[in-house]
Amino acid sequence: MNNYKITLSYDGTLYAGWQIQKNAVTVQQKISDALSVLLKEKVNLIGSGRTDSGVHAIGQVANFVTGNELDLYRFTYSLNSMLPRDIAIKKIENVEESFNSRFDARKRSYLYFIVKNKNPFWDKFAYRNGRNFDVNYLNRMCRCFIGENNFTSFCRTRSETENKICFIYDAFWRRQNDFLIFKIEGSRFLHGMVRAITGTILNAEKNNLDESYIKNILISRNREAASESVPAHGLFLYKVKY
């Protein structure tokens, strides 16, 4: 059997997230359907992780196993031709049969974009907020998340994942022209976790709260203790490392 790794990007605006769901259009479903037509067999497409409804991806990774030996250049072209304009296959490569895009991932990173002024080209891809954020303050709050913590307070209450322990390797904000960009890298992320962390950091800065605010939320293990999540359309799955 041949195992193929796909690196792809997508605009998540019209999708109910990555993972296949009943009565909803998802990115995984669109790609799986196209693969099944091209390969003339049912394909189990494994993603590196879920993205929520409306969230985008720059470097999502997936893999599938097939008995077919593929001409990678032609197959990539054919697959892209079958997919809608908002999903793009960047690369397909043959990998070891044991490779699993989800379980072999070591680090995942996300970007969140905030744009200060109205911008028609970024309306779908950045959260518009005209406040003058203190980047140094935001980065001071980020330090509270570095390392291993229980993130129950930052995931959806109905999350099916029992293990809420995640390791955050890095988290920081930077300003670039009209944009404020948040990058966070971790071993794994829970459902809604990045948007909840982002919203909580912004709330801390807005109300001039100190580090104890973040630490107490982590200790509480209560989603209601954290702040409201930021909108999904500013979030991108940036990169998956193996």
Catalytic residues: 52
Six-digit token pair at 114? 């905030």
H helix count then E strand count, the chain: 5, 10
Per the rule left: phi > 0, alpha: psi between -120 and 50, beta: everything else, 221 is left
Strands 165-176 and 179-186, sheet pairing = antiparallel
For residue 20, with 0-12 CB atoms within 10 Å meaning exposed, 13-18 middle and 19 or more buried, which class applies?
middle
> Which amino acid would we find at residue 79?
L
Q: Is 30 helix (H, G, I), strand (E, B) or coil?
A: helix
Spell out the residues 6+ positions from residue 92 whose beta carbon is closer than 8 angstroms to its own: 4, 5, 6, 7, 70, 72, 75, 76, 79
